[in-house]
Structures are given as C-alpha cells and as structure tokens.
Amino acid sequence: MTLLNVHIASIFFAGAVLLFADHDAFDWVLGKKQTLSHARMVLLHYLMWAALLSLIISGTLLFLPQASYLLHTPLFVIKLLFVAILVLNAILIGNLMHVAPKRPFSSLSLEEKLELYASGAISSFGWVSTVAIGLYLFY
Ligand code: HEM
C-alpha cells in the first residue's frame, strides 16, 4: 500500500466513524435517546483520534519530499490550519463528550447547547474544507 493509499484510506475511515458519531449525536439532540453509551462514545472518540493521527503521519511523509514547493502554496498552508483546528476540536470534544452519557440534551443550558453546536459546526466545516483543499491541490 502506498503512502497516498494510506492517506486516502484514513479519510474514508474517519468519514465512517463520523457517520456513526453524528448518528448518535442526532438521536441525542432530537430526544430519541435520553443519554448515550459512554463506552461507545469513548470507542468512537479513540477511533477518530487514530484516523487523525494516521492522516497526520501519512500526510507528513507525503509532504517531506515536496516541502519547499508545498510551503509556498497558500492553499496547502490553509489546509494545515484546518487540520490544526480539527485536532483542537477533537480535544474540545474529549471534554464535551462526558455530558451526553449523563444528561438529556433538553436539560442543557443555552450556553452548553451552543458549545456543542459550535463544535459540531467546526467539525463539519473543517472536514469538508480539508478534504476539498486536498482534492483541489492534488488534481
Ligand atoms: C484531516 C486531515 C487531512 C485530510 C482530510 C487530508 C485530505 C487529503 C486529500 C483528499 C488529498 C488528495 C488525495 C488524492 O485525491 O489522491 C490529500 C493529499 C495530500 N495530503 Fe492530506 N489531508 C489531511 C492531512 C494532511 C496533513 C497533516 C498533511 C501534511 C502534514 C497532508 C499532506 C498531504 C500531501 C503532501 C498530499 C499530496 C498532495 C500533492 O501531492 O499534491 N495532509 N490530503
């Protein structure tokens, strides 16, 4: 398997984990489930970290041979900023995910709900933008 294949496979893996996690999150926000399984959330969180780390390691190895060219490509630098935002958001989610196993979404304050919505929006925007920039630069 080439490095690029590992990079692409990691994107599909992250996408699959994201679908499971977002499906759970929608059930909780819509009240279909009052609370979520803590063990399942921890598992999905670690799987997402594994996907991110695999993307960062394979991406760094792809980057090194063409570093001087890519560092002068503004879109690539923007892509790296998005990756940094996704990593920071994953750390934030690590703190927020202790809420759903304990409390129904409807019992949260407006501030708590806004924090969760913001994290979800950052995650969606970050993933779509990073994949779009990656594809645009490659083709
Ligand atoms: C969330 C993390 C990331 C996503 C979603 C992502 C996405 C992508 C995509 C979609 C491609 C095009 C692959 C293809 O169509 O064949 C790509 C290529 C690439 N990525 Fe990433 N990437 C991520 C992280 C990184 C990181 C952290 C680096 C470097 C430190 C990196 C470096 C590269 C390089 C060097 C290429 C090949 C570009 C080229 O040769 O034009 N990626 N990435």
Using CA atoms, how far apart are residues 102 and 109, in angstroms rounded to an integer?
14
Residue 32 neighbours by CB under 8 Å, 6+ apart: 26
pLDDT of residue 4: 97
Pocket test for ligand 1, best of 3, 7, 82 (most atoms within 8 A of CB): 7
For ligand 1, whether the C-beta of 135 sits within 6 Å is yes
How many CA within 13 A on the CB side of residue 107? 9
Q: What atom in ligand 1 is closest to the CA of residue 138?
A: 41
Tell which phi-psi region holds residue 73, choosing left (phi > 0), alpha (psi between -120 and 50) or beta.
beta
CA of 59 to the centre of ligand 1 (A): 5
Contact 59, 79 (CB under 8 A): no
CA of 23 to the centre of ligand 1 (A): 26
Nearest CA to ligand 1 atom 31: 59
Average pLDDT, 10 consecutive residues per value, the chain (139 residues): 95 98 97 98 98 98 97 97 97 94 97 96 97 95
pTM of the model: 0.94
pLDDT of residue 1: 75
Q: How far is CA 109 from CA 12, 58, 116, 118, 134, in A?
A: 35, 41, 11, 14, 38
For ligand 1, whether the C-beta of 7 sits within 6 Å is yes
Pocket test for ligand 1, best of 61, 79, 82 (most atoms within 8 A of CB): 79
